[in-house]
Structure 1
Amino acid sequence: MASVLSLKKTIYLGPFVHSQSLAELEICTQGAIGVDEKGTIAFVERDVTEAIAVAKHEGWESAELVRVQDNGFFFPGFIDTHIHASQYPNTGIFGKSTLLDWLNTYTFPLESSLHALSRARQVYSRVVSRTLSHGTTTAAYYATVHVASTNLLADICLAKGQRAFVGRVCMNTLSPDYYRDASVEDAVRDSRASIDYIRKIDPGAELVAPIITPRFAPSCTAECLSALGELHRETGVHCQTHISENKPEIALVKELFPERKSYADVYDAAGLLTPKMILAHAVHLTGDEVELIKERGAKISHCPASNTALTSGCARVRELIESGIAVGLGTDVSGGFSPSVLEMARQAIWVSRFVAMNDGDQAKLSTEEVLYLATRGGAKVVGLENKIGGFEVGMDWDAQMIGLGAVSESGEAASESEDPVDVWGWESWDDRVAKWVYNGDDRSTVAVWVKGRLVHQTSRYQR
């Protein structure tokens, strides 16, 4: 299995960039990062030559050397805190729909078709490969209601080496008769079956872990949510769901759960609003809900592209961050039109500027801040902040090599690389990073590692 592959000591040489805090990027223009046989960072050296870096560390004389190529740098792997693997074929298809119409028109028919394992294998193999190619080293996936195909998604993540939380979707009401849990008992039994299977294939959760996944409050009865809350308490695994995505949805929750004070209170009453809960969207939270989520320690996945595509609204991310809630980024494929977390970083900047047009410049998110949300923020959301998201001793080497294009004196590309980012040579390192954030895509991602294992490479990568 991917989690037990034997690796060789490796020293990664060249510039590296990572978040030190929400507002500060560290840009080291000449670094050396040693990664041991377990895929763990053993040392980080700054401003040293290659020879000195090797000589300083006894036992690393025969380590493999990997050097940054194509005018680039090493950057932590992206963390997608909310993505529907089962919806990947619909990416970019949302028509003129709003959320509830979109579910019935596009989503439920596609998801239900993945009961066929051949179809599920095709979809899940592609989405894992595609997200890896965009530098996503960790993903919190929604699968479908089907146990076998949900388990298959976990198998594929493990085989391809992507770190993942894989959730079997639960819904026993307000969904088509052909695609729902027949009873609360079925929802709990089948969720437990997937939890047990995923724990069996990766007992230490080195790469793949289960996650309890009630779709959202309107698709689950109060009894079902409470039963899943009990399963959460019993198993201790993470949970994920949606909250306050758009106003008609919120009105529906109020109608379905009149005894509850708010959307967040629905989950709290069921025992689901805990530090291991990931709440996607959170566009229209009330002040009381923000306080409740903070008090319970639940986390939020900001999905800017999806919220714009489905005209759900603009989440006030600055307010969420300042309240003390951990926030990460989610692609929300296929409500979101791209599987790229880098694209979500751009979209998060735009959404914050839309908010700023009404609320003032303090609402704007900076380049540094969205890169934090894409890495360390996401790590906090999935409970792995001590393991991934940055380049520090003791953390896993979940990383990507970024390559940037260079412009020759003739004005042509200096190589045959099709990188979308043009570097002219006069840019500061801050400029280079900003150009990547605003112009980069998967063509800029030369290679990707998860826990020290090379899981994606392009023709530009040379060892």
Structure 2
Amino acid sequence: MSDETEFESTNFKVFVGTLVHSTWDIPMVILKNKVIGIKGRKIVFIEEAVKLDELQSLWKFSINNVCLLSDSQFLMPGLVDTHIHASQYVYTGTALDLGLLEWLEKYTFPIESTFKDLKFAEHAYTKAVHRVVKSGTTTACYFATIHLQGTIKLCQIISDVGQRALVGKVNMDCNSPDFYQEDSTDSIQDTERFVETLLNQGNANLIPVLTPRFALTCTPKLMSALGEIAASHNLPIQSHLGESKGELDAVRSMHPGYDSYSDVYDKCGLLTSRTIMAHCIYLTEDELNLLKTRGVGVSHCPNSNTSIRSGLMDARDMLDRGIKLGLGTDVSGGYHPSMLDAMRQAIQVSNIVSFEHHEGENYKPLDYREVFRLATLGGSQVLNLEDKIGNFEVGKEFDALLVNFEALDSPFDVFERDTLEDKIQKFIFLGDDRNIEEVYVAGKNITCNNKLHCKLH
């Protein structure tokens, strides 16, 4: 075998078994007895399993590259976290006794300020990224902190692990403590340096995202400059919008010349088809129409919204309006770094909305199939990556999880009476990282515990 042929062979991965993914028409599609082929980063075929020999002859891959999934295993698209603060991972699961604005002042700003220490930043970010990947998140949209070098360090760690990510250097030039606030000019210059640094690295899995924290901690001058940087490089933008009632009152007071909270961002050039806005609980009809018109994506963070008592976002209404919608963990306002938790919390919040705000109406709460789509294909659309990831289609990149219902020490049990869909539903409601045996990004196995969990054909 020539060196070139040997490379082609080892660059091929083939799985035979059950695939579970979403389409825009059907929230959960279960495909049994399929064979999926991955060459390099991309999916090159999805066929019936009986065609394996024919495909091997056509594509010239080695039988050693074929993985036969057991009856207890399936492949699904990687999970997409559309809103997570990597720097807040250090206090996840604590500090949940205050509402948003007080929570930021007492806990968030002091802790984020410590990321000026590069050694501490490296330690914390390493733990955060490994935990998030272990939990099955193949793509994350991260907030870092205001510190340029710390944010670059986060990108290095993500790159070393192999995760796909959008990463933002946070911007804050007003209404922040003296120990955690930037000068406007310095903030803009550091952001430009960060964008340049990341783009020059040429890592296809890493995208810089412009990150004004929110309209309370950024002047219009700074936000407008960030909008211009985003436009000049065609980059995404992320921030927070309409998270709490106290926040809304403060924005009205700080920005009296604007029609609404959303209008502040819009006038600064920050509402585009590549914008991701987290929360969006308290929006007027005009604001919702503006988001739809601009093509803004919304990150629904149900754990955070209930944990720090911000409110209940109506995900069904967002979907009915045709607004792009995905899920976020919002660590550490949300106390769990797993997107499985975000899926469960989204169902619970939707159930609460249904009986608190729509009693007697024909209102359909989200179900497990719909949150599965929000956590995969929906999230990819919010991050403007739906042409690249989100489900299993020929030509897309292979971001996937190998899940086992009966993994060692699985947190749930299956029974003979359970259908395949029952088992998938149990994984969504009861499963955790113990069921996630392998994690793939762009065709590469990035599993932290890199064991072989399938039988080779």
* Shared fold, TM over 0.5: yes
Instruction: Give the equivalent residue in structure 2 for 1:290.
Output: 288
Do the aligned partners of 2:27 and 2:372 also contact (CA within 8 Å) in 1? no
Question: Quick check: 1:169 aligned with 2:142?
Answer: no
Do the aligned partners of 1:40 and 1:395 also contact (CA within 8 Å) in 2? yes
Question: Quick check: 1:46 aligned with 2:48?
Answer: yes
Instruction: Give the equivalent residue in structure 2 for 1:304.
Output: 302
- How far residue 22 of structure 1 moved from its aligned partner, in angstroms, is 5.8
- How far residue 432 of structure 1 moved from its aligned partner, in angstroms, is 1.2
Do the aligned partners of 1:212 and 1:237 also contact (CA within 8 Å) in 2? yes
Instruction: Give the equivalent residue in structure 2 for 1:257.
Output: 255
> For 1:20 and 1:396, how far apart are their aligned partners in 2?
16
Do the aligned partners of 1:13 and 1:32 also contact (CA within 8 Å) in 2? yes
Do the aligned partners of 1:400 and 1:445 also contact (CA within 8 Å) in 2? yes
Instruction: Output one character per residue of 1:389-424: Cα deviation in whole Å (capped at 9) or x when no partner.
Output: 11110000100000112xxxxxxxxx7x10112111
- How far residue 26 of structure 1 moved from its aligned partner, in angstroms, is 1.3
Instruction: Give the equivalent residue in structure 1 for 2:192.
Output: 192
Give the secondary-structure state (helix, strand or coil) at the position aligned to 1:336: coil
Do the aligned partners of 2:399 and 2:440 also contact (CA within 8 Å) in 1? yes
Question: Quick check: 1:382 aligned with 2:374?
Answer: no
Alignment partner of 1:29 out of 3, 28, 32: 32
Question: Quick check: 1:217 aligned with 2:215?
Answer: yes
Q: Which amino acid aligns with 2:326?
A: G
Question: Quick check: 1:461 aligned with 2:450?
Answer: no
- How far residue 31 of structure 1 moved from its aligned partner, in angstroms, is 1.3
Give the secondary-structure state (helix, strand or coil) at the position aligned to 1:81: strand
Do the aligned partners of 2:130 and 2:448 also contact (CA within 8 Å) in 1? no
Instruction: Give the equivalent residue in structure 2 for 1:335.
Output: 333
Identity over aligned pairs, percent: 39
- How far residue 49 of structure 1 moved from its aligned partner, in angstroms, is 6.3
Give the secondary-structure state (helix, strand or coil) at the position aligned to 2:272: coil
> For 1:22 and 1:443, how far apart are their aligned partners in 2?
31
- How far residue 109 of structure 1 moved from its aligned partner, in angstroms, is 1.2
Superposition pairs of residues 411-450 of structure 1, within 5 angstroms: 417-450=408-441
- How far residue 225 of structure 1 moved from its aligned partner, in angstroms, is 1.2
Alignment partner of 2:231 out of 225, 230, 233: 233
Instruction: Give the equivalent residue in structure 2 for 1:313.
Output: 311
Instruction: Give the equivalent residue in structure 2 for 1:11.
Output: 14
- How far residue 46 of structure 1 moved from its aligned partner, in angstroms, is 3.0
- How far residue 66 of structure 1 moved from its aligned partner, in angstroms, is 2.1
Give the secondary-structure state (helix, strand or coil) at the position aligned to 1:422: coil
| Alignment root-mean-square deviation, CA | 1.7
> For 1:11 and 1:232, how far apart are their aligned partners in 2?
39
Q: Which amino acid aligns with 2:412?
A: V
Do the aligned partners of 2:17 and 2:49 also contact (CA within 8 Å) in 1? no
Do the aligned partners of 1:316 and 1:363 also contact (CA within 8 Å) in 2? no
Q: Which amino acid aligns with 1:339?
A: P
> For 2:362 and 2:150, how far apart are their aligned partners in 1?
46
Do the aligned partners of 2:15 and 2:68 also contact (CA within 8 Å) in 1? yes
- Normalising by structure 2, what TM-score? 0.94
> For 1:140 and 1:63, how far apart are their aligned partners in 2?
35
- How far residue 20 of structure 1 moved from its aligned partner, in angstroms, is 1.7
Runs (5+) with no aligned partner, structure 2: 1-6
Q: Which amino acid aligns with 2:186?
A: D
Do the aligned partners of 2:163 and 2:205 also contact (CA within 8 Å) in 1? yes
Instruction: Output one character per residue of 1:203-246: Cα deviation in whole Å (capped at 9) or x when no partner.
Output: 2x510110100000000112211121122222221110000001
Which piece of structure 1 moves more, 155-164 or 46-55?
Answer: 46-55
Q: How many residues align?
A: 444
> For 1:434 and 1:212, how far apart are their aligned partners in 2?
36
Do the aligned partners of 2:302 and 2:342 also contact (CA within 8 Å) in 1? yes
Superposition pairs of residues 364-403 of structure 1, within 5 angstroms: 364-403=365-404
- How far residue 94 of structure 1 moved from its aligned partner, in angstroms, is 2.5
Which piece of structure 1 moves more, 424-433 or 341-350?
Answer: 424-433
Do the aligned partners of 2:16 and 2:49 also contact (CA within 8 Å) in 1? no
- How far residue 363 of structure 1 moved from its aligned partner, in angstroms, is 4.1
- How far residue 63 of structure 1 moved from its aligned partner, in angstroms, is 5.7
Give the secondary-structure state (helix, strand or coil) at the position aligned to 1:20: coil
> For 2:116 and 2:422, how far apart are their aligned partners in 1?
48
> For 1:437 and 1:207, how far apart are their aligned partners in 2?
27
> For 1:223 and 1:178, how far apart are their aligned partners in 2?
21
Do the aligned partners of 1:329 and 1:373 also contact (CA within 8 Å) in 2? yes
- How far residue 58 of structure 1 moved from its aligned partner, in angstroms, is 3.2
Which piece of structure 1 moves more, 420-429 or 334-343?
Answer: 420-429
Instruction: Give the equivalent residue in structure 2 for 1:122.
Output: 123
Instruction: Output one character per residue of 1:65-111: Cα deviation in whole Å (capped at 9) or x when no partner.
Output: 12324712000000000000011011111231000111111111111
Do the aligned partners of 1:423 and 1:432 also contact (CA within 8 Å) in 2? yes
> For 1:354 and 1:333, how far apart are their aligned partners in 2?
22
> For 2:237 and 2:382, how far apart are their aligned partners in 1?
11
> For 1:378 and 1:361, how far apart are their aligned partners in 2?
27
- How far residue 286 of structure 1 moved from its aligned partner, in angstroms, is 1.1
Give the secondary-structure state (helix, strand or coil) at the position aligned to 2:178: coil
> For 1:32 and 1:315, how far apart are their aligned partners in 2?
39
Do the aligned partners of 1:17 and 1:73 also contact (CA within 8 Å) in 2? yes
Give the secondary-structure state (helix, strand or coil) at the position aligned to 2:253: helix
Give the secondary-structure state (helix, strand or coil) at the position aligned to 1:362: coil
- How far residue 53 of structure 1 moved from its aligned partner, in angstroms, is 4.8
Q: Which amino acid aligns with 2:335?
A: F
Instruction: Output one character per residue of 1:359-385: Cα deviation in whole Å (capped at 9) or x when no partner.
Output: 145240011110110001000011110
> For 1:328 and 1:24, how far apart are their aligned partners in 2?
13
